Amino acid sequence: MLESHSIHSAPYLIDEALQKKNWSLEQAFAYCIRLTKSHYENFPVASILLPKTSRPFVSAIYAFARRADDIADEDFPEHERIPALEAWESLLEKSLKTRISHPVFLALRETIKQYQIPEQLFIDLITAFKMDVTKKRHQDFEELLFYCRHSANPVGRIILYLFGYKDPKLMELSDKICTAL
């Protein structure tokens, strides 16, 4: 549970996310956009290809996943990563039930509600980040596919939901593409 972890001392929360208590939805999305633009990946550049109306929602999704990935890969000593990811997951679950004062979760909650994105897809991503901490090498192809079902495939499905596609056949095709990548 969240209360059992020192989540508030974590580097990913010691920023303006904790300094400000009453985030408006507009401010929360702006925070996610800033976080997206400030990171070192290609995603911020690629996001300009998206329709302007979709960018804030994609940034909320990216901010959620980016922070979780940072927890798994960089921000913590290895023995603290799983508890921190569990705390991040607890924040996700709490944010879906009630409004919490964290910009990433405010923006993500609105995105999930507006586009009816299944919350399980975000939980699957956290599962994959936990695997990143505990697994350094997959033993066989089935194990690799299991990892892809939790890491790459949810991202493809989330994007399909974001653009209004809910057809199971498209989800299946997206899974194949994402697994292949």
Give DSSP secondary structure letters for 105-141. HHHHHHHHHHHT--THHHHHHHHHHHHHHH-SS-SSH
Instruction: Identify the sign of the CA torsion 51, 164, 117, 155.
Output: negative
- Give the type of residue at 53: T
Count CB neighbours of 80 within 10 A.
16
Whole-angstrom distance, CA of residue 16 vs CA of residue 5: 20
CATH class of the domain whose range is 2-137: mainly alpha
Q: What is the pLDDT along the chain (181 residues), one digit of tens a residue?
A: 333 334 444 444 435 555 567 899 999 999 999 988 887 665 655 667 788 899 999 999 999 999 999 999 877 888 899 999 999 999 999 999 998 889 999 999 999 999 999 999 999 999 999 999 998 899 999 999 999 999 999 999 999 999 999 999 999 999 999 999 9
d(CA 102, CA 95): 9
Q: Is the overall model pTM greater than 0.75, yes or no?
A: yes
